[in-house]
Amino acid sequence: MYIVHISSECAPVAKAGGLGDVVYGLAKRQLSLGNHVEIILPKYNILDHTHIKDFSLEVAELWSFEDAFRYHNSVYKGSVHDLNLYFIEPHHNNYYFHRGVIYGSSDDIEQFLYFCRASLEFLHGAKKHPDIIHIHDWPTAAVSYLAHDIYKEMGFHFGKIVLTIHNLQHQGLCLPKNLTKVGLRGEDYREEKSLQDPQNATCINLLKGGIQYADQITTVSPRYAEEIQTEEFGCGLSHILQDRQKDLTGILNGIDKDMWNPSQDPHIFTKYPDNPTFISQIIENKQKNRKQLLDSLQMQQNSGPLLSCITRLAPQKGLPLILQAIQYSLDRGFSFILIGSVCEHQDKEMFENIRDQYQDTGQLHIHLNFDVSFAHKVYAASDAIVIPSLFEPCGLTQMIGMRYATVPIARKTGGLADTVFDVNDQLVNKEKRTGFTFTEPTKEAVCHTLDRVFHCYKETPMIWQNLMKNGMSQDYSWEKGAFSYQQIYERALQKKPLIKKL
């Protein structure tokens, strides 16, 4: 099958969160199953070139459009572990994708809409005819309606379009004129049955359009697929998703087994087996990682568990609950490391304050940045990872944690509920119990759970060891997930052609 992913992220060259890991891990597995797989990305000025091989100019003259103007683009090609990636570089007078960040610029909408159109222009111009175009979240949702309503009529042949919703909260709200800029008459799409935002009638909702135009829709865990059809988690689109219930599937994300592997991780101090039968060596080497990391950060060594949290500091992640977990652990004499990429100024201040408050204790390290290498070190050195999300489409940090024998402490929501089972959960086999969970998004629930964590670590080390072993034994690779996506693609290909909405 010929699959083209059009995406705003792909690890390790352009990653802001889980979406990047997922596109890379899934595409890599799809390639190894014998598919022809390509990925199209914007050529950000912050691409991490260290991982790209054979980077070269593929198309010097790609013309695309915005408003009444034609814009010149260059397309580069490179490979990452045998995966072919194309990078579109717009020569646009607003310097699109030269922002030093992937998201968060005031013109994100314009940049990604432009990218969607240029990607299709590239595929069409290069006479590529993918069986499946796989798009991801709002930044590339517009590919679905641009492909159907413009490029199909221009003779561009493609099979079907699959949209994956990695996070429903971000939907790409804009004005009709933004659509008009890339060649669709925006006002025509501002209809209830079309792309009009359900909450704000003056706005276009780019993700809603993707949900309506895609042949199949997936989201990143079975639990989240159910949740987003409810008013509570549907972010205003629950009824649109209910309408497409038959075409909506939750497929649990995997993690890339090579990228996240303690036995060959180039970032960590001391490698250790990725096989739970060698638990004594795992424990010994985890201790070494922990000692080396704490020394390097000038933190105190102590006999309690080292807790960590590796996250975007977005409200979704339960910021007051993270703060509570930090404070509660430190007040009981334990250590905590937080790596947080910051979104809002006031959140940054909150975490800087707690850092100042505990700076002389040697128990706390807060790193307010996105730092992949440091994250690997922290996964390897920590005993437990705290994930108190208010909602979590899938979550990868619990799976990565388990792969590194780091016990997850998670709130039971979305993909966390599908992957982390409490040490005392009688409803699942003992081998599936991998961590500590709680349901209520409250500080009390966090503290109560941490009490159980501290007690288990200190008083029942064999149970703790079992949690480590169980976590490492779970298969969260892409094997199963990639197979499920293949089935979704087959289902999409069997569908009747989409009838144009307008």
Cβ-based nearer residue to ligand ADP, 27 or 456: 27
Least spacing, CB of residue 89 vs ligand ADP, in Å: 25
Choose the binding region for ligand ADP from 240-248, 306-314, 357-365, 455-463 (rule: CB under 6 A): 306-314
Least spacing, CB of residue 372 vs ligand ADP, in Å: 5
The number of beta carbons lying within 10 Å of the beta carbon of residue 178 is 20
Is 18 a binding residue for ligand ADP by CB under 6 A? The answer is yes
Place of tokens 């060959």: 264
Is 21 a binding residue for ligand ADP by CB under 6 A? The answer is yes
Is 10 a binding residue for ligand ADP by CB under 6 A? The answer is no
Question: How many residues sit close enough to ligand ADP to count as binding (CB under 6 A)?
Answer: 19
Least spacing, CB of residue 342 vs ligand ADP, in Å: 9
Choose the binding region for ligand ADP from 32-40, 56-64, 177-185, 338-346 (rule: CB under 6 A): 338-346
Local structure of 34: helix, strand or coil: coil
Choose the binding region for ligand ADP from 26-34, 135-143, 334-342, 454-462 (rule: CB under 6 A): 334-342
Cβ-based nearer residue to ligand ADP, 258 or 444: 258
Query: What is the CA 273 to chain-centroid distance, rounded?
Result: 26
Distance CA 411, CA 420 (A): 9
Is 310 a binding residue for ligand ADP by CB under 6 A? The answer is yes
Least spacing, CB of residue 398 vs ligand ADP, in Å: 8
Is 311 a binding residue for ligand ADP by CB under 6 A? The answer is yes
Burial class of 453 by CB neighbour count within 10 A (0 to 12, 13 to 18, 19+): buried
Burial class of 134 by CB neighbour count within 10 A (0 to 12, 13 to 18, 19+): buried
Is 396 a binding residue for ligand ADP by CB under 6 A? The answer is yes
Choose the binding region for ligand ADP from 133-141, 300-308, 396-404, 419-427 (rule: CB under 6 A): 396-404
Is 103 a binding residue for ligand ADP by CB under 6 A? The answer is no
Distance CA 22, CA 19 (A): 5
12: cis peptide before it, omega within 30°? Answer: yes
Question: What part of residues 397-416 is at the interface with ligand ADP (CB under 6 A)?
Answer: 397, 400
**What is the token pair recorded at 272?**
């250790």
Do 101 and 9 contact (CB within 8 A), yes or no? no
88: phi > 0 → left, psi -120 to 50 → alpha, else beta; which?
Answer: beta
Cβ-based nearer residue to ligand ADP, 395 or 435: 395
Instruction: Find, among 458, 440, 340, the residue nearest to 397 by Cα.
Output: 340
Cβ-based nearer residue to ligand ADP, 203 or 386: 386
Local structure of 252: helix, strand or coil: coil
What DSSP state is assigned to residue 85? E
Amino acid at position 41, single letter? L
Cβ-based nearer residue to ligand ADP, 88 or 310: 310
Distance CA 386, CA 466 (A): 18
Amino acid at position 499, single letter? I
Among 75, 207, 375, 492, binds ligand ADP (CB under 6 A): 375
Helix extents (H) in 108-255: 108-125, 137-146, 176-181, 186-189, 206-213, 222-227, 238-243
Is 312 a binding residue for ligand ADP by CB under 6 A? The answer is yes
Is 13 a binding residue for ligand ADP by CB under 6 A? The answer is no
Among 287, 341, 473, 486, binds ligand ADP (CB under 6 A): 341
Instruction: Find, among 387, 436, 447, the residue nearest to 415 by Cα.
Output: 387
Cβ-based nearer residue to ligand ADP, 21 or 108: 21
Among 370, 465, 490, 493, binds ligand ADP (CB under 6 A): 370
Local structure of 373: helix, strand or coil: helix
**What is the token pair recorded at 240?**
């649109």
Cβ-based nearer residue to ligand ADP, 400 or 409: 400
Least spacing, CB of residue 167 vs ligand ADP, in Å: 6
Least spacing, CB of residue 48 vs ligand ADP, in Å: 12
Distance CA 479, CA 475 (A): 9
Amino acid at position 252, single letter? L
Among 372, 428, 458, 461, binds ligand ADP (CB under 6 A): 372
Sheet containing 364-367: which strands, arranged edge to edge? Answer: 364-367, 335-342, 306-313, 384-387, 407-411, 436-438
**What is the token pair recorded at 201?**
């009638």
Q: Is the dihedral of CA 332, 335, 340, 345 positive or negative?
A: positive
Among 78, 262, 395, 471, binds ligand ADP (CB under 6 A): 395
Amino acid at position 230, single letter? T
Is 38 a binding residue for ligand ADP by CB under 6 A? The answer is no
Distance CA 418, CA 346 (A): 32
Choose the binding region for ligand ADP from 183-191, 299-307, 309-317, 451-459 (rule: CB under 6 A): 309-317
Least spacing, CB of residue 30 vs ligand ADP, in Å: 19
Least spacing, CB of residue 394 vs ligand ADP, in Å: 6
Which residues are near ligand ADP by CB under 6 A?
A: 17-19, 21, 310-312, 339-341, 370-372, 375, 394-397, 400
